[in-house]
Amino acid sequence: MWTHILLIAVAGALGSVCRWALSMGVARLAGGSFPWATASVNLIGSLAFGIAWGLGQHHWGAQTRVAVLVGFMGAFTTFSSFAFDNYRLGIDGAWGALVANMVGQTLLGLGALTFGIWLVSRTST
């Protein structure tokens, strides 16, 4: 268990740094008001998660899968996990759950973010 925790922590640190570096590079290139940096990280992260999942199923041991999928990818972007969860719901034919998850998390996440900002604005001086 401690080995997994250490692997997740180290790979997570690397994933965070990679996310920051990619975001900075894309933001410098793209400019404008559209969030290209976040979109790029989410799309690249989803592609990388798919590749890692495919490779990991047949070629990697448990420790490598934990380090890459949970540590690195979890820190690089949780959107890839969101996309993978939706993929699995689709594969299982759970179309209602897939739509509910996509719409629900998006709307509830936006609502929670807005509420958090509002809450701080009401309590801060």
| pLDDT score for 125 | 61
Q: For 18-34, how does the pLDDT look when each residue is reduced to its tens digit (9 = 90+)?
A: 999 999 999 999 988 88
pLDDT for 115 beyond 70:
yes
| pLDDT score for 32 | 80
Q: For 46-104, how does the pLDDT look when each residue is reduced to its tens digit (9 = 90+)?
A: 999 999 998 888 899 999 999 999 999 999 988 888 998 999 999 999 999 999 999 99
* 69: its two tokens: 């999928």
Q: Where are the alpha helices (DSSP H) in 31-94?
A: 36-59, 62-65, 73-76, 79-91
Banded pLDDT at 15 (limits 50, 70, 90): very high
The answer to whether the CB of 3 falls within 8 A of the CB of 59 is no
Residue 31 backbone class (left: φ over 0; alpha: ψ -120 to 50; beta: rest): left
Q: What are the Cα distances from residue 27, in Å, to 37, 41, 45, 93?
A: 5, 11, 17, 38
